[in-house]
A and B are shown apart, each in its own frame.
Chain A
Amino acid sequence: MAAEIVTVSTDSKFVHLAWQRSEKELEKVKYTMGSDSTGNLSRMFGVYDEQTGMDLRGTFIINPDGILLNAEVNFYNLGRNIDELMRKFKANMYMAKKTNEVCPSKWKDEGDVTLSPSASIVGRVHEALEKK
């Protein structure tokens, strides 16, 4: 995979180990579990909750040049959709290759319709999205 995926909470690495070992739901988890016990990394991304010492549900995609390209933060009570995360990740990788194209909201995978912003599609986005 072209990405390092790191799950992060403010728990220590020891708690990560214990949780992964005891929770059957996590038996097949293969992502690196990061520990941000100081909260510093979480503060950097604006997901640290000073009241509780816990992290909000934040997802961030960073390109190989170190530029933050996507940020999504949910409150505690709403889970994230992994399909949407992968859609964003794939779209970012695609646009890194095809720098004159942009991915519209319905873009899912390579081969789907993209837009090439130019004077000719101003006011004609509907037509540009329809043609394939």
Chain B
Amino acid sequence: MVENFPLKVGQKVPSFEIETYDPVSKDFGKFDFDKAKADQKWTILFFYPADFTFV
């Protein structure tokens, strides 16, 4: 899976799914990238080093 990574701008992002915590519903869930696309949504990913640090 690794040969085309990291992705470059202009490339297609492959399907992925990650576990989530939603602070609004205060519940666990999943973010499914394919579902976001199916719903015609943009996706913004915001990576940061670690919880309990100064983000």
Closest B-chain residue to A76, C-beta based? B49
Q: Give the Cβ gap from B4 to chain A, nearest Cβ, in Å.
A: 9
Question: Which residues on A sit within 8 Å (CB–CB) of B13?
Answer: 44, 62, 66-68
Total count of chain A residues near the partner, CB < 8 A: 62
Using CB atoms and an 8 Å cutoff, list the residues of chain B in contact with chain A. Answer: 2, 5-14, 16, 18-24, 26, 28-29, 31, 33, 36-37, 40-52
Other contacts beyond A8-B48, A32-B31, A62-B44: 7, CB < 8 A: A4-B36, A29-B23, A34-B19, A46-B6, A62-B13, A68-B9, A71-B8
Using CB atoms and an 8 Å cutoff, list the residues of chain A in contact with chain B. Answer: 2-20, 23, 26, 29-36, 40-47, 52, 54-71, 76, 80, 85, 89, 92-93
